[in-house]
Amino acid sequence: MAEKKTGKAKRLTEMSHCAGCAAKLRASDLAQVLGGLKSTKGPQALVGFSTNDDAAVYRLAPGMAVVETVDFFPPVVDDPFQFGAIAAANALSDIYAMGARPLFALNLVCFPDELPLKVLSKILAGGQSKADEAGIPILGGHSIRDSEPKFGMAVTGVVHPKKVLTNAGAKPGDVLFLTKPLGSGIATTAIKRGVASKQLAKRALGVMTTLNRAAGEVFASGKFKVNALTDVTGYGLLGHLLEMMTAAKVRATLDLERIPLIAEVPALAEDGVVPGGTKSNLAHVHKKVRFPEGLPECIQWVLADAQTNGGLLASVPARQALKALKALEAAGVDAALIGEVQAGKPGIDVVG
């Protein structure tokens, strides 16, 4: 691919039709497609796509299972190094969300002819920086030419078969923890439209580039019971929590006042700065979510906002909540207790 010289270089976000995980297929469309597929699942396959979990898990031996995930998307920011770092951190998150340890990664690259190759070098360097932080090598990958740049990783990890953490084990009496604030989808849309403040851009960048390693290691430590675990990404808090409740056949209550939000995001949502993926998320879950009467639609959008490398969402027995909070704090994770689980028809009640 030859280096090309052009006039004014395009911003990366100008070349993306959606920002980050908002580029995912709509949950309703994906459910329709996957519902028609028959999966041959042998006894060694411990986790597949039937519960919408974060990664596949396959038992290799009595004491070892391999965990496999893949994730990639178009640019969420204009800086190529930061884009690469965000995409890599997001791909690694699915391994941590299964209670697993990453081993190595492969790069996935789509790159336009019109961009200089130095941009791709910076994207890959950003991805490498997060692999280094996670303590894993990048052993190869695959690249294709495409009019829209995209980057991500396939990541392989390992976990003991009896220590796999899935999204399907939540129980009545559990409490719900969230390890990052919401709003990165709305924030990146503001960045793409050129209406984000410097403070918002910096805060959103910090959220998206932070590995979920510390939180994942705490939840996998065995210091307290974790009944269910997932990460909050393209389908938003409401979408991923609904998947968790549906898989376990239980119901959640969310305390609106306890849910952490990135500053400035609610105001942007009120002004209509909302990605299409976020609006699709809300439309997908609205029949199974009860909001307080009169709750503004902009706040509903924030709860459904399509996140890029969002936090981990854990369901933990209430009697171990304090122990969990102390362990997370000791690891430098600013987690919030945002709700609880009870018996009932799968769905979500938002209160406060």
Known binding residues are: 24, 51-54, 71, 94, 141-143, 231
CA distance 153 to 134: 13
CB within 8 A of 186, min separation 6: which ones? 265, 268, 269, 273, 274, 275, 278, 301, 302, 305
CB atoms near residue 334 (< 10 Å): 12
CB atoms near residue 194 (< 10 Å): 8
Angle at 246 between CA 305 and CA 237, to 5 degrees: 15
CA distance 222 to 162: 12
Binding-site positions for ATP: 24, 51-53, 71, 94, 141-143
Select which of 18, 21, 110, 298 is catalytic: 21
Binding-site positions for Mg(2+): 54, 94, 231
Q: CB-based burial of residue 14 (10 Å sphere; 0-12 exposed, 13-18 middle, 19+ buried)?
A: exposed
Please state whether 290 falls in left (phi above 0), alpha (psi between -120 and 50) or beta.
Answer: beta
Residue 21 is a catalytic residue: yes
The structure tokens listed for 183 are 């709003």
CB within 8 A of 26, min separation 6: which ones? 277, 280, 284
The structure tokens listed for 267 are 């105001």
Angle at 53 between CA 262 and CA 168, to 5 degrees: 95
CA distance 65 to 295: 45
Catalytic positions are 21
